[in-house]
Amino acid sequence: MAFYGCGGSIRYNVYPESDDEAEERVHSGDVRRGCGIVRGDGSMYKGKSFYNGIAFKECVLDYALVSGCNLKQYRYDRDRIGFKCISAKGKYMWKVYAASLHNDSMWMITLYTNKHICVPIGECDMFKTPVIARLFLDKIREEPEYYMPLKMEQTIMEKWKISVTRGQCQAARRKALGWIELEYDTLRTWKKSCRPLIGVDGCFKKEKIKGQLLVALGRDADNAIYPTAWCVVQVENTDNWSWFVNRLKIDLELGDGDGYIMVSDRQKGLIKAVELELPKIEHRKCVRHIYGNLKKNHLNKNWLKKLLWDLAWCYNSKYYEESLKRIHAYNSKLYEDVMKTKPKTWCRAFHKIGSYCEDVENNYVESFNNTINKAREKPVVAMLEVV
């Protein structure tokens, strides 16, 4: 499943910044310039909590980048992790230790000795191959020919004053490329094994760092759900949907969309994005959303559900016209509201021939969103574990 990231940084419990705030931080020197890799400040204190052990380790890495101290992991168990600072003589004073709370999924710093007896010498034991690969993953994805081992080595020295070997950077670049290849294996499998159908939807994150989770799902030959891609954005709008649809278009090699189907609740931003990026795709409306919206204004219409679904499942234009007449005879105001939804965009009679897919609803995407309900309560780094 491809995760589309925006910038490569993982930040915790920080509200999204506006463009103006980001500009101020750059000019004030709070953000390291040049490499475009933005990290946190690594602030720690006894009692600070984290969503999981990964979040704690990322915070320690941020501290190492900011301080330049040589930090080394000295304990790693399933429910506890510890780091210490190594001086030139192998002694240490600075230490941080975190453990999971047994009655909760959270982790907490239970010991923090914030005292250094070392002098930064440009070394950091934490800078193993996976760490370097994570730091440069998005940059290698965006500019693979630019971020070669030499450039990675230079960037680490220029920005963090830490010395790494060319061999470490070569191994890290290979690992990052391997991760990227796995992402694209998922997308290639979709093309070979799934129906030419993409279900798309957005749902709210349930965490204090608010945002929208955008997902794209496929259906395999057995009609099972096939997760294809997802990303987290601040809001659902045309720009964010255009970016997401553009990534799908490129990675799935959809061209102008001809021969493919998209099913969604057709939010305004998504409609415009699809028109721009995939002008020839068959974009079907989800009947469940149509029904939900109509029900709000026609609560006492007991036959609404049956009439609407009968219309959606019509096989040809003759039955389509007859179904519309039945709706009009039942209630003229309901008929007017149905026509405003442009029923030809969600009636089976008007599906393109050759798609071999009769879906008129986006139910499997809704099911996926419900399945990851717990993950939506977590920040992005913790969602990765659940999804």
User: Three-state SS string across 282-336, please?
Assistant: EEEECHHHHHHHHHHHCCCCCCHHHHHHHHHCCCCHHHHHHHHHHHHHHCHHHHH
Asked if the structure places residue 357 within a domain, the reply is: yes
Instruction: Write 284-287 long-range contacts (CB < 8 A, 24+).
Output: 284/345, 284/346, 284/351, 284/359, 284/360, 285/341, 285/342, 285/345, 285/346, 286/346, 286/360, 286/361, 286/362, 286/363, 287/312, 287/346, 287/360, 287/361
188 with 214, same domain: the answer is: no
Q: What is the pLDDT of residues 331-369, one digit of tens each?
A: 999 999 999 999 998 999 998 877 667 788 887 777 776
Asked if the structure places residue 145 within a domain, the reply is: yes
pLDDT of residue 221: 74
Residues whose CB falls within 8 Å of the CB of residue 204, separated by 6 or more in sequence, listed in order = 210, 211, 212, 213, 376
Asked if the structure places residue 15 within a domain, the reply is: no
Tokens of 356: 């071999």
Domain boundary among 75, 101, 126: 126
172 with 205, same domain: the answer is: no
158 with 120, same domain: the answer is: no
pLDDT of residue 194: 84
Asked if the structure places residue 305 within a domain, the reply is: yes
195 to 11, 205, 221: CA distances (angstroms): 37, 29, 7
Nearest to 300 by CA among 260, 256, 331: 331
Containing structural domain, residue 141: 132-192
Tokens of 226: 């096939």
Asked if the structure places residue 13 within a domain, the reply is: no
182 with 249, same domain: the answer is: no
122 with 139, same domain: the answer is: no
Name 213's bridge partners.
203, 232
Distance CA 191, CA 38 (A): 34
Regions of the chain where pLDDT drops below 70: 1-36, 87-92, 103-105, 204-210, 355-356, 369-387
331 with 228, same domain: the answer is: yes
Asked if the structure places residue 56 within a domain, the reply is: yes
> Residue 382 burial by CB count (10 A; 0-12/13-18/19+): exposed, middle or buried?
buried
56 with 163, same domain: the answer is: no
Widest pairwise Cα distance in the chain: 90
pLDDT of residue 208: 57
272 with 302, same domain: the answer is: yes
Total count of domains within the chain:
3
Q: What is the residue type of 15?
A: Y
199 with 335, same domain: the answer is: yes
Asked if the structure places residue 368 within a domain, the reply is: yes
pLDDT of residue 103: 67
pLDDT of residue 205: 61
253 with 321, same domain: the answer is: yes
206 with 338, same domain: the answer is: yes
Q: What is the pTM of this model?
A: 0.57
pLDDT of residue 202: 83
> Residue 159 burial by CB count (10 A; 0-12/13-18/19+): exposed, middle or buried?
middle
44 with 184, same domain: the answer is: no
Asked if the structure places residue 9 within a domain, the reply is: no
